[in-house]
């Protein structure tokens, strides 16, 4: 789905939207499986995700799950696609309702943080967990993850370009550098929150984003 002024973020979004519109009993079961699989993959990694483990946790037959996904690789791909669709619906789409300019980048960051905190039983941000798991594992799952992550970084950079056009960021602002640094803030938050259990993790992350934004602001914004 393409929105004017923004790249085609997560190109398979339209497929998932149609999936929900025409959901029947079999599709509802599939959605339940994928929702659980995203949380499980956040904890054990995509490589630790298997049809057998999902069947055990959901009290379903392995043959029933196999009829939905046919292979472990197909399951992994669909889990990534489903995670991307959830991210679009929970983070990207609502944030685009925020006013143009700095409020929009702040809305994206706020919703990104909330999304990583939304399920206490998961391993935090789904995509941070996937990057850690797949960064050195060549294959279709890694290829798809690379595409999704590049699309996300391009999207963030494009939002920054719109802030420059609005006159709220200085003309010399580097959109790609801002996107890189914003993602770095989220990675640091994930590390401090999930590994170190730092109670100040969110405060530090918000302060870091504020410093990044302030460094790019124009004098009168």
Q: What pLDDT does residue 169 have?
A: 98
CA distance 80 to 46: 9
pLDDT category at 42 given cuts 50, 70, 90 is confident
Q: What pLDDT does residue 6 have?
A: 42
What are the pLDDT digits (tens) for 164-190?
999 999 999 999 999 999 999 999 999
35 vs 26 pLDDT, higher one: 35
> Which residues, other chains included, contact 118 with Cβ-Cβ below 8 Å and sequence gap of 6+?
90
CA distance 22 to 100: 34
What are the pLDDT digits (tens) for 46-91?
888 888 888 888 888 888 777 778 888 888 899 999 999 989 999 9
What are the pLDDT digits (tens) for 89-142?
999 999 999 999 999 999 999 999 998 887 655 667 788 888 888 888 899 999
CA distance 46 to 73: 10
211 vs 47 pLDDT, higher one: 211
CA distance 208 to 17: 35
Question: Is pLDDT of 26 > 70?
Answer: no
- Mean per-residue pLDDT of the chain: 84
Q: In the predicted model, what is the mean pLDDT of residues 199-211? A: 97
Helix axes 62-69, 51-58, angle to 10 degrees: 130
Q: Within 10 A of 41 (CB to CB), how many other CB atoms are there?
A: 25
Question: Is pLDDT of 15 > 80?
Answer: no
């Amino acid at each position: 789905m393409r929105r004017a002024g923004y790249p085609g973020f997560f190109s398979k979004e339209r497929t998932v939207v149609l999936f929900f519109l025409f959901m029947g009993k079999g599709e509802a079961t599939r959605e339940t499986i994928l929702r659980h699989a995203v949380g499980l993959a956040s904890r054990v990694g995509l490589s630790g995700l298997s049809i057998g483990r999902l069947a055990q946790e959901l009290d379903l037959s392995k043959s029933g799950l196999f009829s939905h996904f046919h292979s472990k690789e197909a399951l992994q791909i669909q889990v990534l696609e489903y995670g991307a669709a959830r991210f679009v619906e929970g983070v990207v789409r609502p944030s685009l309702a925020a006013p143009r300019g700095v409020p929009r980048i702040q809305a994206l960051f706020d919703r990104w943080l909330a999304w990583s905190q939304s399920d206490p039983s998961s391993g935090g941000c789904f995509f941070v967990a996937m990057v850690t798991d797949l960064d050195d594992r060549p294959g279709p799952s890694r290829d798809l993850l690379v595409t999704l992550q590049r699309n996300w970084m391009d999207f963030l950079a494009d939002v920054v370009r719109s802030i420059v056009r609005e006159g709220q960021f200085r003309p010399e602002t580097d959109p790609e550098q801002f996107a890189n640094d914003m993602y770095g803030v989220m990675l640091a938050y994930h590390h401090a929150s999930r590994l170190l259990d730092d109670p100040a993790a969110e405060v530090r992350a918000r302060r870091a984003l504020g410093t990044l934004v302030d460094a790019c602001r124009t004098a009168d914004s």
